[in-house]
Structure 1
Amino acid sequence: MDTRDAISDFLTTRRAKLTPEQVGLPDFGGRRRVPGLRREEVALVAGMSSEYYKRLERGNATGVSDAVIDGVSRALQLDEAEHAHLHDLIRAANAGARPQQRRPVRKTQLTSGMRQTIDAMSTVPVFVQNGRLDAVATNTLGRALFSEMLDDASPPANAARFVFLDARAQTFYRDWEAQTGQIVALLRAEAGRSPYDRQLSDLVGELSTRSDLFRKLWGAHDVREHRTGLKSVHHPVVGDLDLTFQAMDLVSDRGLQMIVFSAQPGSATHERLQLLANLTESTAERASR
């Protein structure tokens, strides 16, 4: 990823979403050549010269301080994920590292202790992924929940490939359109953290070539954190499930994120999840005989 272009495109797309009124500036009218704020208006709200901001929006991040990042973030009303993404992009640009010097190490398996921990969590589905959204590990119930994604997939199974390239995803995710935006926003954030990850670049290139929707969403430069929320799916065996999730970064396995799904006790989803657990256990017992 070209970090100069990424900085420029990100700032431009954020600026286009705002109006003078939203940032507390008067709108004197007149024809605007592009939607949103002018560069001079961003600079005014951020407390810097217009030339300095223009240089930054062209991708020249040399010497940009945390205070400048905070000022721009405030002017563009960036949320926490967007602020972190801008910081990552500027840090990468200032590092000036060449791709071969910045090869990230991607873990492909858990430590034995963490593997034991997720296997012990037998009443809830657990899914472990890396920043590229590769499936690194699941517990038994997690594999049963995401069987549509994991079964018959060439390793490593990848959530983005499933969502954009597998027709079953549109049935599995009941809010498939929202899921597509979330997936792209997560990958865009990871691209800011790991701009020289060749496998991530290959994944983005593949999806951009094979999916018009992915290419459109990627161009929006939206970013997102993946911490908590609701996942509504249609499981091919037990039907509709509305699952809350909590995502946690693993300190013992850096670069990996563990996602734990659960259901409200007494709800239909809770009963169906228990049914899935029982069916999975029965199948495993028959297979071991």
Structure 2
Amino acid sequence: MAKKIVGIDLGTTNSVVAVMEGGKPTVITNAEGSRLTPSVVGFGKGGQRLVGQLARRQAVMNPKNTVYSAKRFIGRRFDEVGSERRNVTFDVKAGKAAEALLHIPETGRDVTPEEISAMVLQKLRAEAERYLGEDVTEAVITVPAYFNDSQRQATRNAGEIAGFNVRRIINEPTAAALAYGMDKKGAETILVWDLGGGTFDVSILEAGDGVFEVKATNGDTHLGGDDYDRSIVDYVADDFRAREGIDLRKDPQALQRLVEACEKAKQELSTVPQTQISLPFITADQHGPKHLDVPLTRAKFEELSHHLTER
């Protein structure tokens, strides 16, 4: 029996694994019940390793030992990632070959972005094996169209570290166009708009005779869903500070809860015109516990994030 080949979107913020079943792609749900697995790896006491949602939940309280956005560093030299280094909470160092290394104080080790990506890929592989009930060793992994040869090879290396035989590395917009055009005939010009968690890419492809060619690609590597989440976090935190005199952003535990609640609210506003951000016992002062309860409409969210949409 032919081995199943999985397709993996190894994202900056979240990653996804899918498999073809009955001629149709099926996105595999992870053990937490989500189709998205955060591309986050955390290291706890004694070097305990957390991957995905569990790592993300402790990120605010363990910032130096939690690695995210490894995709921004993969296959790149230390002197190429100056702006990226300034936007993460963990330490980035130069390796002997001037490559970017990620320092983990809890373990005392410097790890490569490929190793971190491999840990995320290992989780995706385990989820696929759980779903399919068989070993999964074959994979196709997508990368941004602008990735250079070094970044593509480093992504392939990450897949191999995770135990995959990487059949192909393909461009993300090409994968999207393939999914769109699987049942279509004839020549077309396709625009792929990809607003991810941390990056925004727009690509134009030409399709014909089953061949997809990327003609142009552009975007903003520092614009994504995380920025939209942050606009809600700041709004709610400012509102709470004005009423209670407490800045929740200075309390790691409260901030972690707030970030998760604001992301959930953003997702809910995709389907409903208004939602409620409710966090009981979010903090306390000398007078007792404080509760957060803020309504948020879709119109208000659009106002808060207008500057991002305009970019």
Q: TM-score scaled by structure 1?
A: 0.25
The answer to which structure, 1 or 2, has the higher relative contact order (CA under 8 A, 6+ apart) is 1
Q: TM-score scaled by structure 2?
A: 0.24
Give the helix-richer structure, 1 or 2. 1
